Amino acid sequence: MQIKEVVAFGHRHFLPNLSIDLVIIGYGDDALQCLLLKVGDKWLLPGGYVKREESVEEATVNILRTRTGLEDTYLKFLAVFGGKDRQFSEVSREFMQKLGMEWSEDYWMNNRFVSLTYYSLVNKEKTHPKISFVDEAFAWFDFDDLPEMWMDHRDIVLTAREQLTRDAQREYSAHNLLPEVFTMPDLHRLHQAIVGSKVDRSRFQKTMLATGLFERLPRVQKTTPGRNPYQYRLKK
Amino acid sequence: MQIKEVVAFGHRHFLPNLSIDLVIIGYGDDALQCLLLKVGDKWLLPGGYVKREESVEEATVNILRTRTGLEDTYLKFLAVFGGKDRQFSEVSREFMQKLGMEWSEDYWMNNRFVSLTYYSLVNKEKTHPKISFVDEAFAWFDFDDLPEMWMDHRDIVLTAREQLTRDAQREYSAHNLLPEVFTMPDLHRLHQAIVGSKVDRSRFQKTMLATGLFERLPRVQKTTPGRNPYQYRLKK
DNA sequence: TCAAAAGTGTTCCTGTTACACCCATGT
DNA sequence: ACATGGGTGTAACAGGAACACTTTTGA
């Protein structure tokens, strides 16, 4: 694809100067993790642009789907990042060079962008990230072990982490982070990973069940020692 | 000003397809009110655009200042309104006609816009709205007595109302809505107007004073019957 | 001048809910 | 050893009720 075509394509199909960035959050090994894409020697949040004929919400859902294959996910608005110096010059030069293409000042992506950021809670097992021609790899990173990232994407990730913690303290925020069927100890561990502190086990179970959000299923049959826990499912 | 100049000016100076809309909230007669501008036979939220050389936050503050003359105000992000059919065709045609100018499809404002909305709490007495060449009047409206408004601006206003009520239930949200010096009954009435329900007087006073946010001043000298109330001021 | 009414600040009380922690019981 | 879930004492909170005080108003 020639640069001029890309430029023209960008301007014709997308709202200029506006980008969507997603903090895609998964859960594994008792820790929250975040999906990042590698461009050059640094990492980037998955994201995209708003097509002229779609709403911002549709764009967000579409980006998430094309990036991860996920349909029915939990998406929540995070913040506007609108600093006057938010532009992709470095990133764009980096991967243009990698592709052997000539970097040009007026490449449409090499502009100032206002970024609308969202966070999404996903089931890692069901997530199948797709590499575009821009990025060379993807990986899940623990929130407290993030790599070097382009621009202010590290700030965005950390903002999402804080927001999720706050959200989890006043509402149920574990959507998609566990398999469809889970036990109360599972949920308890996840919740502790989200809020980042110990939570009383007995009270947690009480308050969770009191919400009425959960449907109790038969006990799991374990071989490990100890009483067999009930399984639960989110009521729809 | 010729249309072509306006078009050129818009494209040169502003980020296209991105607008800022402000829900400016004041307080009077025990009710919350909202500042609107009249264009043609309907009303509109005050707003503006983001200059290429300023951040979104700076733009928001600047818009508020040029529209109301207010400096130091309380501004809070509300939501993104990003529907695919959000365009100003009607409004723009309306006031172009009024100005005796020819309406044209490619007038830069006659585009789809993604709107970043904020709400601001202001002191009505200190607010001096400025009419631009676009709008012909301004007025304060009670939230439950809104006029017909352009586009989805009514939704925006109602969203702001809900958000403010929620905010007031967990944090102090009366910034600027009262004069610098006020009494506890004043604050109590305001708080009830915000949350939209009766609040126990004695407990309210207790919790407000317990926050330590307030500085007690000498009693006011009244002419109305009853004990003279203390005055308070927000500690800085 | 005096009593009534009305607005304000503060304390006390009571029932309820929330919270933190322990431990009995079942597998 | 692990999971469930009951119990218990404490703290926080909501909502009144009561009361003290101050000032206007009207008889």
The pLDDT of residue B3 is 54
Do B163 and B119 contact (CB within 8 A), yes or no? yes
Distances (CA, A) of A191 to A75, A156, A187, A188, B180: 18, 22, 6, 5, 43
Mean confidence (pLDDT) of chain B: 90
Gap between the Cα atoms of B113 and B99, Å rounded: 23
Q: Note whether A83 contacts B: Cβ–Cβ < 8 A.
A: yes
- The alpha-carbon radius of gyration of chain A (Å, integer) is 20
Superfamily covering domain B3-168: Nucleoside Triphosphate Pyrophosphohydrolase (3.90.79.10)
Structure tokens at A66: 């094309």
The pLDDT of residue B105 is 67
Which CATH architecture best describes the domain A178-234? Orthogonal Bundle (1.10)
Q: Which of the two residues, A231 and B105, has the higher pLDDT score?
A: A231
First to last CA, chain A: 46
Residue nearest to nucleotide D15 (CA to C1'): B200
Counting every residue written for chain A, the total comes to: 236
Global pTM reads 0.92
The pLDDT of residue B116 is 98
* Average pLDDT over every residue of A36-50: 93
Give the model confidence (pLDDT) of A66-98 as tens digits: 999 998 789 999 999 999 989 877 777 777 777
Asked whether strand C has any atom less than 7 Å from the CB of B199, the reply is no
* Strand, coil or helix: A15: strand
Taking 3-state DSSP, the helix, strand and coil percentages for chain A, each rounded to the nearest 5, stand at: 35, 30, 40
Q: Which of the two residues, B36 and B71, has the higher pLDDT score?
A: B36
Do A110 and A87 contact (CB within 8 A), yes or no? yes
* Average pLDDT over every residue of B49-72: 94
Give the model confidence (pLDDT) of A16-35 as tens digits: 999 999 999 999 989 999 99
Asked whether strand C has any atom less than 7 Å from the CB of B226, the reply is yes
CA-nearest of A78, A84, A48 to B50 is A84
CB nearest to B116's CB, from A50, A57, A80: A80
Min Cα distance B195 → chain A (Å) is 19
Residue at A149: amino acid letter:
M
Q: Note whether A146 contacts B: Cβ–Cβ < 8 A.
A: no
Structure tokens at B128: 């001096």
pLDDT at B206 over 80: yes
The pLDDT of residue A50 is 96
Structure tokens at A183: 């036990």
Residue at B112: amino acid letter:
R
Asked whether strand C has any atom less than 7 Å from the CB of B192, the reply is no
Least confident of A101-115, A208-222, B174-188, B189-203: A101-115
Gap between the Cα atoms of A61 and A64, Å rounded: 5
Taking CB atoms and an 8 Å cutoff, what residues of chain B touch A84?
53-55, 58
**Which of A75, A77, A80 to substitute to test the interface with B, most B CBs within 10 Å?**
A80
Give the model confidence (pLDDT) of A135-153 as tens digits: 889 999 999 999 999 999 9
Place of tokens 């501004």: B75
* Average pLDDT over every residue of A209-233: 87
Query: What is the pLDDT confidence band of residue A6, given thresholds at 50, 70 and 90?
Result: low
Domain ranges of chain A: 3-168, 178-234
- Show the CA angle centred on residue A153, arms to residues A152 and A158, nearest 5°: 105
The pLDDT of residue B109 is 76
Give the CA count within 13 Å in the CB-facing half-sphere of B219: 7
How does DSSP classify residue B136? S
Structure tokens at B187: 């604050």
Give the model confidence (pLDDT) of B43-55 as tens digits: 999 999 999 999 9
* Average pLDDT over every residue of B14-25: 95
Window 21-50 of B, Cβ < 8 Å to A: 50
Q: For a pLDDT cut of 90, what percent of chain A falls above it?
A: 63
- Of all residues in chain B, the one with the smallest CA distance to A115 is B56
Q: Assign residue A85 a region: left if phi > 0, alpha if psi is -120 to 50, beta otherwise?
A: alpha
Q: For a pLDDT cut of 70, what percent of chain B falls above it?
A: 94
Taking CB atoms and an 8 Å cutoff, what residues of chain A touch B59?
82
CA-nearest of B224, B234, B1, B18 to A80 is B18
With an 8 Å Cβ cutoff, are B54 and A116 in contact?
no
A191-215: buried (b, 16+ CB within 10 Å) or exposed (e) per residue? Answer: bebbbeeeeeeeebeeebeeeeebe
pLDDT at A2 over 60: no
**Which of A55, A85, A117 to substitute to test the interface with B, most B CBs within 10 Å?**
A55
Gap between the Cα atoms of A168 and A162, Å rounded: 10
The pLDDT of residue B133 is 74
Structure tokens at B217: 């001043």
Asked whether strand C has any atom less than 7 Å from the CB of B183, the reply is yes
Gap between the Cα atoms of B98 and B134, Å rounded: 9
Min Cα distance A152 → chain B (Å) is 14
With an 8 Å Cβ cutoff, are B52 and A112 in contact?
yes
Query: What is the pLDDT confidence band of residue A62, given thresholds at 50, 70 and 90?
Result: very high
H helices of chain B, in order, are 3-13, 56-68, 89-98, 153-168, 184-195, 201-211
With an 8 Å Cβ cutoff, are A80 and B16 in contact?
no
B55-92: buried (b, 16+ CB within 10 Å) or exposed (e) per residue? Answer: bbbebbbebbeebbebeebebebbbbbbbbebbbbebb
